[in-house]
Structure 1
Amino acid sequence: MLRTLLAAMAAIVMTGCATVPAEKQDPRDPLQALNRPIYDFNMDVLDAYILRPIAVGYVEYTPVPVRRGLVNFTTNLTMPTDIANAALQGKAEHTGINVARFLINSTLGLFGLFDVADSFGLKIADEDFGQTLGVWGVDDGAYIMMPAMGPYTSRNVAGDVVDNFVFPEIALSLPQSILLYALKSIETRAQLIPQEKLLNESLDPYLFMKDIYFQRQLSEVYDGKPPIKEEPVDFDEDFLENL
């Protein structure tokens, strides 16, 4: 099975060496000729035959309280990353909320299985180092479609590398890290099942996913309040002279 997947991936990547037509070029996506076939491989092979069936079975056979507990546990486990990044971004309120959430859920919430902090009105402030770099003024960089992992930007790739060295994740063994990643990936895919129709009915699913990804990144950097770009207004020079 693995050999077949690798062979398919190699064939798809080789077909991606073609030049992207000028009308489809995107300055955010200089690697589009490679990204598109990787996207096709992710969706048509990995998702269709592996990830989606697992996610569907997970939703069907896993009781909601168990799913919620797993989400709470994995979220709490990575909370030190959110705390560190909120502090690096100078967000004192978010830092305090995340510290309080981690302390409350790690104790009263039985190591994070129950989100007790949420009942106290302490909503999670999700932060990562990719967002931190964005707050510091680092551009998104190139859009990258990662095999089996989905969309990224070069900024977020660098951010993930840094985040993975934050305790307690660094204290996990390799099997534990793989299990943590698998749980988060399956739950994320399960949450996307209701949104599949939007993707499938779009004229170009690749572009649709890319645009949604960039919108989400912008929203996260600005905490849901991205700046509104004002279009330049062309004034008549004669009119301006007569003012």
Structure 2
Amino acid sequence: MTKFEAFVKRSFSISFIIAISLVNIGCSSTPEQSKRMPAAQINDPLESINRPLWVFTWEYADKYVTRPVTNAYVAIMPDFLRAGLLNMAQNLNEPSSMINNLLQGKFKAAGNDAGRFVLNSTVGLLGFYDPASDFDMMRSQEEFGEVLATYGVGDGAYLMIPVLGPSSIREEVGDFIDHSYFPIGDFAFWPGIFRRAIIGLEARADFGEREQIIDNSVDSYQFVKTSYYQNMLYRVYDGNPPILVDEKAEEELDEYLDLLEEIDEQD
């Protein structure tokens, strides 16, 4: 069996197992039905552990390690090289994004992911360049955690991962699956670490002025946690999260409008 045949067989096996699991999880719910469900409440049963980990992450690890290393990386590396390395790192996520879109029935998005991977891996020199964007094939990476959310799986407990930052049980499970896909699943240890470092450094470099917002917040831990869940909701709903309405306030408004209508009729 060739390596290509082994890859195809493994990919179909993983996809089949995931699909069966999602059918069992979703029961009779479809992705669209699940997406109409209201957002789950923030679940933080581990706050007594998460808070000290946040202090360590922000006040020590970021201040004395992550931030200085990121600043040095930005100062030393030429912009074109930074952009190229990040493109290469993100290009490796396209196959997993394709499968995750297929599992949600987003066939057009899956085709876009496949086209991006082929074009950027060939004409784009292993993803260093991004010619796919010139053809309006924009990057929109879908994670397996979003697949689980689509099928009604809740976030689970909120987690503060030391150094890495906020996460949740669902996102960690999703990341584990995403990293098992080709080609990331075939990476040796150090190439995988290098790829994650590139993505992490660029993410930290883009953080920018939000540092001051966190520092000036009344409760930085609560602010970061709330921001994390808002971002996850935004991603799960592809940039169009539902507008959650206070049912009690809505009932009071209806009663008030009915009262105005009665007054108008009396006049």
TM-score normalised by the chain length of structure 1: 0.84
Deviation of 1:203 (Å):
1.3
Q: Does 1:213 align with 2:228?
A: yes
C-alpha distance in structure 2 between counterparts of 1:211 and 1:119, whole Å: 36
Which of the residues 58, 69, 74 maps onto 1:54? Answer: 69
Deviation of 1:46 (Å):
1.0
Runs of 4+ in 1 over 3 A off after TM superposition: none
Percent identity, aligned pairs only, is 37
Instruction: Give the letter for the 2:251 counterpart.
Output: D
C-alpha distance in structure 2 between counterparts of 1:174 and 1:165, whole Å: 13
Instruction: Give the letter for the 1:33 counterpart.
Output: S
Deviation of 1:143 (Å):
0.6
C-alpha distance in structure 1 between counterparts of 2:42 and 2:146, whole Å: 21
Q: Does 1:110 align with 2:125?
A: yes
3-state SS, counterpart of residue 137 of structure 2: coil
Matched-pair contact (CA < 8 Å) for 2:42–2:229? no
Superposed CA offset, 1:179-215 (max 9, x none): 1111111111111133212211111111111111101
Q: Does 1:234 align with 2:254?
A: no
Deviation of 1:27 (Å):
5.2
Q: Does 1:75 align with 2:90?
A: yes
Instruction: Give the letter for the 2:89 counterpart.
Output: T
C-alpha distance in structure 1 between counterparts of 2:64 and 2:54, whole Å: 14
Map 1:58-137 to 2 at 5 A.
58-137=73-152
C-alpha distance in structure 1 between counterparts of 2:116 and 2:77, whole Å: 26
Query: Across the two proteins, how many residue pairs are aligned to each other?
Result: 216
Superposed CA offset, 1:63-110 (max 9, x none): 111111011000111211111111111111110111110011001100
TM-score normalised by the chain length of structure 2: 0.77
Name structure 2 gaps, 5 residues minimum.
Answer: 1-40, 263-267
Q: Does 1:191 align with 2:206?
A: yes
Which of the residues 50, 60, 76 maps onto 1:35? Answer: 50
Superposed CA offset, 1:107-138 (max 9, x none): 11000000100011111121011011011111
1:7 is matched with: none
2:181 is matched with: 166
2:169 is matched with: 154
Name structure 1 gaps, 5 residues minimum.
Answer: 1-25
| C-alpha RMSD of matched pairs (Å) | 1.8
Distance 1:129 1:27, change over 3 A: closer
C-alpha distance in structure 2 between counterparts of 1:188 and 1:27, whole Å: 24
Deviation of 1:61 (Å):
1.6
